[in-house]
Amino acid sequence: MTGELSPIDRAKFVAAKRAADMVEDGMRVGLGTGSTAAWLVRCLGEMVRDEGLKIQGVPTSTRTAALAREVGIEVVSLDQAGWLDITIDGADEFDGDLNLIKGGGGALLQEKIVATASDQMVVIADAGKEVETLGAYPLPVEVIPFGWQTTRKLIEETLVSMDVLGRSAALRMNGDAPFVTDEGNHILDLHLQRIGNPRQLALVLNQVPGVVENGLFIDICDRVVIGFGDGRVEVRDINEGTIEHDRVDMAENDNLFTDLAD
């Protein structure tokens, strides 16, 4: 079955499998949202079923919560857990300082809350998500529905003084209707092309009335696990300044692929 996976899916799986090995018995684990995070949830579910791993999972979306329950992970709320040992999540982009763009799946608010309530955040990604400068991927900004068009205009006016190349903001749609987050908000996707100063932009965006949160994760990620289609993984630790190389044997995990549907 693994031979039927695309190289990108194989890369996502090996990154998730390597990160799952960082989870220890008794941990409270933040579970990310998105296609790569779904591999992680499946890997942890297999460990719960086959190895007797006992963890509590705090999901960052209703989709992740449903998948976690499906594979046998005990699901609790962040308020119930209090503080987390580790959060493992994907990213739409990451740079050399492990600054991230997240929110492609529409769960950036819960993802940021959960990640910052953790002793460590680990990002899992395929090698194509690494960039020299953030911004090629549209930056999601969660806004309240009331007056969202005014909020968009204020954001676009604010971008004039920012170190970015593009300044357009588009309302994310779900078919013919606006996309709605788990909190009942909308998302504006900012097409910036290049973000020269992510830290400044993250701070300024959150001062715009109507903005709930933005998808720039600055000084939050501790480690990134990068997967490659041939089974190789690279683990970078921003705090320790280390880089480790490993390999994941995909053949032993065929049962993970039989019913996976991201």
Which residue matches tokens 């588009």? 170
Residue 105 labeled ligand binder = yes
Residue 102 labeled ligand binder = yes
Residue 129 labeled ligand binder = yes
Residue 65 labeled ligand binder = no
Secondary structure letter of residue 138 according to DSSP: P
CB 233 within 8 A of CB 18: yes
Report the alpha-carbon distance of residue 30 to residue 32 in Å, rounded. 6
Residue 54 labeled ligand binder = no
- Indicate the helix (H) or strand (E) that contains 190: strand 186-191
Which residue matches tokens 């006992």? 54
Report the alpha-carbon distance of residue 162 to residue 178 in Å, rounded. 27
Whether residue 74 lies in the annotated active site: no
- Which member of 4, 46, 51, 111 is catalytic? 111
Residue 229 labeled ligand binder = no
Residue 107 labeled ligand binder = no
Report the alpha-carbon distance of residue 132 to residue 127 in Å, rounded. 12
**Distance set, CA 219 to CA 2, 32, 96, 198, 199 (Å):** 35, 17, 12, 11, 9
Residue 15 labeled ligand binder = no
Residue 89 labeled ligand binder = yes
Which residue matches tokens 């900012």? 190
Residue 175 labeled ligand binder = no
Please give the positions annotated as active site. 111
Binding residues: 33-36, 89-92, 102-105, 129
Tell me the binding residues for substrate: 33-36, 89-92, 102-105, 129
